[in-house]
Structure 1
């Protein structure tokens, strides 16, 4: 065998060993980080079955925010319900925020607020409501409580998140003044969940979308790529989700590299398709035209 051929083989084997070593390190660091994190997997969501994706480059994730404090009379209900869509081909992220008091037909339960679906049947039943009422397919789910959201923000954004607060806010001992400032986990959480004013959930959803937009815009170069498996392991250990490790890391690479386009947002119900109703067994609700909102969602999902 010629000397040049031997050198070529040795070089190839060396590259393979490096690749295998990096892969093993990534897998081990991910698993160790996951095991050290507090597991949030719940039995209520073990029966979740995701809808088929229209493309292997697209995914739609149902995001449930859960206020799990013991003194909450709505224990188990979803406090926040959003649907995140990402097209890996066009690099376009989209976010649909759904009012928690939306009055919908929950399978085998009848008419109720949409946030009750999670208490009745977890992620699977909530997905079925989104399928049925809004013709919205869901591939994956993510469920996290408020404390974990705060911890995750501090983990990913140790220097905080810059927000131009639209108003003075006081909630759960946190004071936020109007104007541009840097917020850390708990303060950012209170800004996103505040609804004790005349706008109620409408203002809260607008601020939640503002926060999500800031998180995406400020995600570039947060952490080195080689630390991604370890960070992903910590996150997966803290939340309840069926998003695979490999998919989570692939998505994170796009956001960390700054390749994604600006976030597009939609609030449901859309303007002109709803009315307040205070005379239901569920209390004060938002009655909506499900068909018109399904049409709006469909048009939103098709925009580039």
Structure 2
């Protein structure tokens, strides 16, 4: 009799445990759905609400050895049917070291675009979307791209304000106003949304596009630090909801979650960055398509290859 009573108690405890787990699971699902829809409600009708239907099919290679190269494209179409890319980066993620590196590609690089001849590299996006950008990078810099993500700048400020609700701290070296529709005054300050977008897009100074690329890499690094916080882990469904209409990507949900989990686990790792072309590897020239950067392709291919490949020390430090 005692044995039967004990067995019944165990069954009751097991049933209660299963019910509790089920309740928690349902609660989390409801919370995620609510947060995601809440994020969607804060986003307007972005141009990329239908992922992978805006552009031609993307033929990225399969990731190898836990490492992936993601093509990041910033688009600022003002009604043009075929807008050029405003920002072009390669984000490299290594799931073994839980680290991310970013290479920023100067948009005025003079390259061979398959089927279109010599052009500035930012024209590839206008001619053939992310797939032609992938082909152009492979042909000129010999880098295999696995995924792509296109960000519409209209949603940049909304996304950043959720990821970094307290803003991003920057040190503005001089007044920035031309072409921005606003004035950013010099000095150390915290920027939100539209003002942060103006900061990363300003290029009318003595450094021209080089200064803009430096600011972009600075902000990407600081936003990444904010993104791996506990606050954003809780708000991830809402962030995805806000971002969805403004981002076109072929990165599947499982990969996004895997990368997010890895970055949170390795959040103490500083994001490395590089600009292509590197210093002393290019000359300024004016050709039929305007002012361009003619680069030393062999030097830049080698530098980029060395940057993207994980070293033995990095792998050992991750263990």
Instruction: Note if 1:247 corresponds to 2:255.
Output: yes
> Are 1:156 and 2:163 counterparts?
yes
1:60 equivalent to 2:69? Answer yes
Contact 1:232 1:249 in 2 (8 A): no
CA distance in 2, matches of 1:115, 1:195: 16
**Cα distance, 1:174 vs. partner?**
2.2
| Shift in Å, 1:190 | 1.1
- Does the CA-based 8 Å contact 2:88-2:107 persist in structure 1? yes
* In structure 2, C-alpha distance between the alignment counterparts of 1:170 and 1:258, rounded to whole Å: 37
Partner SS for 1:125: helix
1:182-201 equivalences under 5 Å are: 182-201=190-209
Query: What's the counterpart of residue 178 of structure 1?
Result: 186
Q: Which moved more, 1:20-29 or 1:212-221?
A: 20-29
Contact residue 232 and residue 245 of structure 1 kept, 8 A: no
With the length of structure 1 as denominator, give the TM-score of the two structures: 0.88
Matched, 1:114 2:121: yes
1:99 aligns to 2:106 (yes or no): yes
Report the counterpart of residue 79 of structure 1 in structure 2.
86
Scaled by the length of structure 2, what TM-score is found? Answer: 0.84
1:25 is matched with 30
Partner of 2:10: 5
Higher-Rg structure is: 2
Which consecutive unaligned segments of at least 5 residues does structure 1 have? none
Displacement after TM superposition at 1:186 (Å):
1.0
Q: Is the 8 A contact 1:131 1:137 kept in 2?
A: yes
CA distance in 1, matches of 2:261, 2:58: 27
Q: Distance in 2 between matches of 1:174 and 1:257?
A: 38
CA RMSD of aligned residues (A): 2.5
Equivalent in 135, 145, 150 of residue 138 of structure 1: 145
Deviation at 1:18, TM superposition (A): 3.7
Q: 1:176–1:287: structure 2 CA closer, same or farther, 3 Å change rule?
A: same
**1:198-277 to 2 correspondences below 5 Å:** 198-221=206-229, 223=231, 225-255=233-263, 259-277=267-285
Shift of 1:253: 4.1
CA distance in 2, matches of 1:282, 1:79: 16
